[in-house]
């Protein structure tokens, strides 16, 4: 009985602790990157994914490289925009106008934070290997990793909140995490990001998704955002 009563009150506290830890981790990683302390680690991981005799050749057969390009597209602006518009359209048709606005704000906010930080750090892209995908912005943090973490984890968390079965909740959140991991690792495999760029993107996107989840939970409990049935944690 006591644990059930404490459960709803503990969740926001745990989330706030994780958010604080994530911000601290991002700040520490950014400081290490700025000072060049991560260069050796980045180079080792990047080169470990390449043919030692030919740095232009990623490990594995050609279909693996093509699959990685498919995965990396899941974190691109085009796919993210189409997915966001599709989800918002569904919510609008379902009569959940404020929920649609929340999703739109969550994705737009992640894109804004990623862009601002990229301009602030201006870290050059990896120059050890040829790029397997076209790039046109600076490297830190990884925009694909940030956007995929923020978008997929936010959508997974929001969808999980309206599910009653624990297995469905775990599946939704687990699948969102899987897509996030695939997008981030594909950026390193294709040689367009340093590993620490991706780690920073995952951290930033995860923190933002958790903030959006807390906001959605707070608004739903006050009836300001639509939900299907009683609020679920």
**84-112 residue pLDDT tens:** 899 889 888 888 788 888 888 888 888 88
Any domain includes 204: yes
More confident call, 171 vs 225: 171
Whether 226 has a pLDDT exceeding 90, the answer reads no
For residues 22 and 207, the answer to whether their CB atoms sit within 8 Å is: yes
Domain around 91: 17-221
- The SS3 call for residue 55 is strand
4 domain-assigned: no
Global pTM exceeds 0.75: yes
Q: Is residue 24 part of a domain?
A: yes
What average pLDDT does the segment 4-9 reach? 53
Is 121 a member of any domain?
Answer: yes
Does the residue 38 lie in any domain? yes
Q: Is 58 helix (H, G, I), strand (E, B) or coil?
A: strand
Q: Is residue 165 part of a domain?
A: yes
| Number of compact structural domains in the chain | 1
Task: Identify whether 6 is part of a domain.
Answer: no
């Amino acid at each position: 009985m006591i644990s059930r009563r404490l459960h709803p009150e503990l969740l926001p506290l745990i989330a706030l602790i994780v958010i604080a830890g994530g911000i601290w981790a991002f700040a520490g990683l950014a400081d290490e990157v700025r000072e060049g302390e991560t260069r050796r680690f980045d180079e080792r991981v990047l080169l470990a994914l390449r043919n030692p005799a030919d740095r232009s050749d990623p490990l594995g057969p050609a279909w693996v490289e093509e699959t990685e390009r498919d995965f990396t597209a899941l974190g691109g602006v085009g796919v993210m925009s189409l997915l966001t518009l599709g989800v918002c359209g569904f919510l609008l048709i379902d009569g959940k106008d404020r929920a649609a606005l929340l999703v739109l704000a969550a994705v737009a906010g992640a894109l804004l934070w990623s862009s601002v930080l990229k301009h602030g750090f201006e870290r050059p892209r990896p120059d050890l290997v040829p790029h397997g995908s076209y790039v046109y912005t600076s490297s830190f943090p990884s925009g694909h990793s940030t956007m995929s973490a923020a978008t997929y984890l936010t959508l997974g968390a929001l969808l999980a909140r309206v599910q009653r079965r624990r297995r469905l909740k775990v599946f939704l959140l687990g699948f969102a995490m899987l897509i996030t991991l695939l997008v981030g690792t594909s950026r390193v495999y294709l040689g367009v990001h340093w590993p620490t760029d991706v780690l920073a993107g995952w951290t930033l996107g995860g923190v933002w998704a958790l903030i959006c989840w807390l906001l959605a939970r707070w608004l739903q409990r006050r009836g300001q955002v639509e939900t299907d049935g009683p609020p679920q944690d």
